[in-house]
Every structure is written in C-alpha cells, then in structure tokens.
Amino acid sequence: MTRGRRRSFLGVSVAMAPRRMNIEGILARLEQVRPSGRGWIARCPAHEDRIPSLSIRECDRKILLHCFAGCTVDSVCTALNVGVRDLFVEPCPAAEAKPHVLRQVEKQIASLRNTLSPRDRRRAVTVVLAD
C-alpha cells in the first residue's frame, strides 16, 4: 500500500491519508507500456512476463487493471506497491441504507415487471404505500 504523508499539527505528527493514484502514476511503475485500444498494455509486475499481458484503462474515475495471464488485481497492486483503494480517483460515497419497506417494494416491482410484456415493461410504475 502507499505510505501516507505526515504533517505536524500543534507539535504533534499526524498521519495524512495517502493521495489517490492517477493513471500516470500507475503507468510510471510499469515496464514496456504502450497504447492499446482505449488504454494501455504493459508487462504484468505480478508474474514473470515476456510479452505484455496487463491491460490498464481509466474509466469513470477508476483505474481498471486486467492481467490476461490470470493475476488478480490484489497481486498486481501488491507488486506495484499500491492499494486497491488507490485505483479509485475519488473515494466512493457511502451508500445510504434504504428502509426495509422500500427494499421489499423494489423486489416486488422487479418480479412483477418480469411477468409483463416488453411493451408494458417500458411504462412507468407508480407505487402507493398504504399503512
């Protein structure tokens, strides 16, 4: 994982959260990087690689890694000395918990929509909750 920065605050050394990696930071840690399609391809640092097999791409403010030799993202990140969380440009916001009633209604709507014809599925559904 990346090491955090340290800053002094009122005479006390405080660990700062590490900065998120950008695509250039990941590419700089790899060997034999070349453009490929919508991203790049490079030698995978997680295994002995003679032919580049690691695909690197940036999509929706995330850095996507895929080793065609089968290495996991965890092993690639370990070899790059970064954490998996560093592949996200911004931390994901915490999902709000939906009330139980709303989750149950969404399940019922999904099961009902599966029984409808394709034409009827495109129509809007209005739900009225009664106590």
Residues 22 and 56: their CA atoms lie apart, in Å, by 12
- Please say if the pLDDT value at position 130 is more than 80: no
Question: Domain for residue 120, yes or no?
Answer: no
Question: Domain for residue 123, yes or no?
Answer: no
**Total domains in the fold of the chain:** 1
Beta-carbon-side half-sphere exposure of residue 119 (alpha carbons within 13 Å) = 0
Where in the sequence is the domain holding 66, given as residue range(s)?
A: 6-87
> Roughly how many angstroms between the first and final C-alpha of the chain, as a whole number?
51
pLDDT tens digits along 59-90: 888 899 999 999 999 999 999 999 888 888 76
pLDDT tens digits along 6-19: 555 455 554 444 55
